[in-house]
Amino acid sequence: MNVGAIILATVVVAAVGLFIGVFLGIAGNKFAVEVDEREVAVREALPGNNCGGCGFPGCDGLAAAIAKGEAPVNGCPVGGEPVGKIIAGIMGQEVVETARKVAFVKCVGTCEKTKNNFDYTGVEDCEMLSFIPGGGPKACSYGCLGSGSCVKACPFDAIHIVNGVAEVDREACRACGKCVAKCPRHLIELVPYEQLVFVGCSSKAKGKAVTAACEVGCIGCKKCEKTCENGAVTVTDFCAHIDYEKCTGCGACAEACPRGIILS
């Protein structure tokens, strides 16, 4: 056994390892990317759902945007006001009060109240039904299709199909907006959690067509609009709409509605 060769090989390996270690250390320092400590702290404060409801690609994207001043400290709809307060402290800003929001489905046309043009057997997906003649089996071409695309999109199990129509669990909803983006008929909107009055219809059809398709659809009679003393209710495209900033929740419009489509 050549002991000298073994010692030489050991020395060479150790020298190469030392050189590589020193080189990587120098390279690491030279090319190191500076990390904003505030961004790291903000990321740790965010809930980590990565739902995209903030408009950024996940929590990492929002944290980076907040640290750069490109997004508000209360930009996370899931974390809401509690998380907004923590992030405001990290960013050295004043605490911002955040009004909680929840999703609302603008349709109450259940199986008993809405007529069907035909029986459907196939893939249960609202986006797929859009390609079927008439947009699905329901006679109302504006109402909830009831195939649950919004249910699949919700990361919080806050929306379910009940009697043919999507319903939101207000307490479980975190207003991430995924169901809003997924609904092909744009029936879901984010509304103030404290709001008491809603219009449960989105039909743009005229009165005769509405009554032929649904027992509770809005017929655009404008009784609600005339009743509201605050100018919060308007009828456009044959359907009532509520301005939530003007609405006081008095319920007068709901009492005046002959179709019972205004919920309070």
* More reliable by pLDDT, 200 or 52: 200
The token pair at 189 is 């909107």
CATH number at residue 65: 1.10.15.40
pLDDT in tens, 209-246: 999 999 999 999 999 999 999 999 999 999 999 999 99
Is residue 46 a part of any domain in this protein? yes
Distance CA 85, CA 74 (A): 8
CATH number at residue 253: 3.30.70.20
Percentage of the chain exceeding pLDDT 70: 92
Helix axes 58-67, 80-91, angle to 10 degrees: 40
Same domain, residue pair 187 and 201: no
Same domain, residue pair 54 and 78: yes
Is residue 28 a part of any domain in this protein? no
pLDDT at 33 over 60: no
Q: How many CB atoms lie within 10 A of CB 68?
A: 11
Quote the number of domains for the chain: 3
Distance CA 15, CA 109 (A): 78
Same domain, residue pair 66 and 115: no
Give the distance from CA 221 to its chain's centroid. 32
Residue 17 — pLDDT band, cuts 50, 70, 90?
Answer: confident
| Last residue of one domain, picked from the residues 137, 160, 194 | 194
Is residue 32 a part of any domain in this protein? no
Distance CA 138, CA 214 (A): 9
Q: Tell me what the mean pLDDT of segment 55-69 comes to.
A: 87
* More reliable by pLDDT, 143 or 98: 143
pLDDT in tens, 79-133: 888 888 898 888 888 777 778 899 999 999 999 999 998 888 888 889 888 788 7
13: enclosing H helix or E strand: helix 3-30
The token pair at 92 is 């050295």
Q: What is the mean pLDDT of the chain?
A: 87
Same domain, residue pair 238 and 190: no
Question: Residue 60's domain spans which residues?
Answer: 37-91
Same domain, residue pair 85 and 129: no
Is residue 14 a part of any domain in this protein? no
CA nearest neighbour of 263 among 204, 179, 198: 198
pLDDT at 31: 57
